[in-house]
Amino acid sequence: MEAEKKKSKYTIYPRIRELREKNHYTQEEVGSLINYSQQSYSDFECGIAEIPIDVLMKLAELYSTSLDYLLGLTNVSVPYSAKKKRKWYLE
DSSP 10: -
Query: How many Å apart are CA 40 and CA 16, to the nearest integer?
Result: 14
Domains, the chain, in order of start with CATH, read 2-90 (1.10.260.40)
- 31: number of Cβ within 10 Å: 19
pTM over 0.85: no
Label residue 76 by pLDDT band (50, 70, 90). Answer: confident
> Residues 75, 83: contact at Cβ < 8 Å?
no
pLDDT tens for residues 17-54? 999 999 999 999 999 999 999 999 999 999 999 999 99
Phi, psi of 21 (to 5 degrees): -65, -40
Considering only the C-alpha atoms of the chain, give the largest distance between any 2 of them, rounded to a whole number of Å. Answer: 44
User: Regarding predicted confidence, which is higher, 26 or 89?
Assistant: 26
Query: Among candidates 63, 5, 69, which has minimal Cα distance to 29?
Result: 63
> From start to end of 29-70, where are the E strands?
none
